[in-house]
Structures are given as structure tokens and as C-alpha cells.
Chain A
Amino acid sequence: MSHEELFTLFSKDLFIPELKAKNRDGVLEEMVDQAVEAGVIRDRDVILGMLKNRESLGSTGLGEGVAFPHGRSLAIPTLMALFARSSKGIDYGAIDGKPVKLFFMFIAPPIEKENRYLPALGQVVELIRDETSREELMGVKTFEDFQKIILGGE
């Protein structure tokens, strides 16, 4: 998957430059509410329940201040990706215990013809391993800046 293809999954409506939430459940709620407002989710509580169950399987906070809440649900018609940032950082139960500042949420339907869910998730995980990209994303304030960082890694 190219960075251009990856970027098509994100949108301005699914971009939160500064989270208000202060804890893990609050972050998940704020991100899901944003997706509901953008009209990409069918049922808020079903998605929220799925994401919380996914966290109980093992934290999606992979360390270095980044988390990737993700999963499949019938309550979404097509694959979506949301980016959110917290400049202060949130206690998310990440595997390294550090506060999380960057969130990439991926939600896919149970069956996806193009099968882009795991490749897209893997691509962002790879991008975030690069310290420069990570540092740039920590300071991102606009969707246009976000776009430059995602596409710039090509």
C-alpha cells in the first residue's frame, strides 16, 4: 500500500488536533464520537464496546507515545482511520508505561473486499517507528500538516 493510498483512509472530519479526554476510556469515547459526527459509524456503543474489548486483549499502546486502537465491527460499513493527538499525553496503559500522545484508530467491517485493514495498520506502525515522523506528528496542528507528514514518508 502506497502512502497515497494510506492517506485516502483519513479525512479532515476524522482528525482531532487536541484531545480533551484525560484517560483511556475518555479518549476512545472522544474518537468514536468524532467518527459518529462524521457519519462513518453506525452504532457508537457497539464500536466502543469492541474497542474496549480489544484493549483487554492487550494494550494497543505500543510505546514511544503512540497507540493504535483497532478492530472489526459490523457497526461500520467501510474501513476508516482517525488520527488524534494529545500534547500533554494520556495514561493509556501502554506497554512501556509512557503517556500516549498520538492515536491512530482503525476500524474495519467484518468482511472487506479490498483487504486493506491490516496492511494499512502495518504501514502506520512502520511510519511511526521513524523517530523524525513521530516527532513531527507530536507537533501537528492542522490536517494539511498531517497530510504532509504521511505523504512525505514515501
Chain B
Amino acid sequence: MATVQEKLLVLVALQDLDIMIRECDDKTHTDKLTAMGFTQEGREDLEEARKELVGTIDKALVNRYERTAKRLGRAIVPITGNICLGCFTIIPTSYTSSENRDKIMQCENCGRMFYWPKGS
């Protein structure tokens, strides 16, 4: 069974993929890349990769991610210091204690989930 950290990393990867898919649908963005010579014809492959990724973690967690992403754009942010990098409010010190690394923590202010980058 995946650990909390592993599940959070899947959400980070999912968010990266969602950003890429959103960029594919953003004409201003794709026009700039097309002008440079890049092709972007594999959107379906990205959707397929997303389905595979979503299948590796619990549905409840994916639903939570999708609800937050729909509301705020980004559903997950890294913890670096004591500030939520989503809404820039101060996080209680207790949040960043090592005891909480096996829990899915979220910002009390904006509701975004936190993940601990490796080495932090």
C-alpha cells in the first residue's frame, strides 16, 4: 500500500499533467510554442496518462484533489518554511512537525494540500 508521501507525489504529478493539459487548451500558449516549431498533437496521450495516474490512488483522495483544483487552480503546494505557497498565509508550526508527515495536511486558510519535498 502506498504511503501518504507516495500518494502526495502522485497528486503532484497529476497536477503537473493537468497544467500541461490546460496549456494545450490555451491558444495563446500553443501559438507561442507552435511559432517556435514545437508540435502538440498528443493531447489524448496526456489524457491516457492521467487516467493511469488517477488509478494508482484512492478515489476519495482524487475527488478531494479535483474539488480543490476546480476551486483554486492548484490543489497541492510544497511546504517550504512556514508559509502556504498557495495563499501565502502563515502555517502553524505544529503543521510542519515530523509527526504530521504521515498525514494529509491542508492549509487552514485556502484548503490546499501540502506535500513535503524530498530533503525538506
Contact = CB atoms under 8 A, between A and B. Distances in A.
Contacts of B15: 74, 110
A50 B20 contact: yes
A57 interface: yes
Given A72-B16, A110-B15, A57 B24 contact: yes
Interface of B is mostly: helix
Given A43-B117, A72-B20, A74-B78, A56 B13 contact: no
A122 interface: yes
A95 B40 CA distance: 12
Contact of B20 (A57, A62, A63, A74): A57
A122 B39 contact: no
B117 A42 contact: yes
Interface residue range, chain B = 20 to 34
Given A49-B16, A74-B76, A122-B32, A56 B37 contact: no
B43 interface: yes
B99 interface: no
A97 interface: no
Nearest to B42: A57
Interface string B26-51: 00010011011111111101100100
A122 B9 contact: no
Contact of A56 (B23, B32, B38, B49): B49
Contact of B41 (A43, A57, A62, A77): A57
Interface in A118-147: 118, 121-122, 125
Contacts of B43: 57
A56 B42 contact: yes
B20 A53 contact: yes
Classify the interface of chain A: helix, strand, loop or mixed. mixed
A10 B20 CA distance: 24
A58 B20 contact: no
Given A62-B38, A95-B39, A121-B36, A53 B19 contact: no
Nearest to B120: A42
Interface of A: 42-46, 49-50, 53-54, 56-60, 62-63, 68, 71-75, 77, 95, 110-111, 118, 121-122, 125
22 contacts: A42-B120, A43-B12, A43-B118, A46-B9, A46-B12, A49-B13, A49-B16, A50-B16, A50-B20, A56-B49, A57-B40, A57-B42, A57-B46, A58-B39, A58-B42, A59-B39, A63-B37, A72-B19, A72-B20, A74-B12, A75-B117, A111-B74
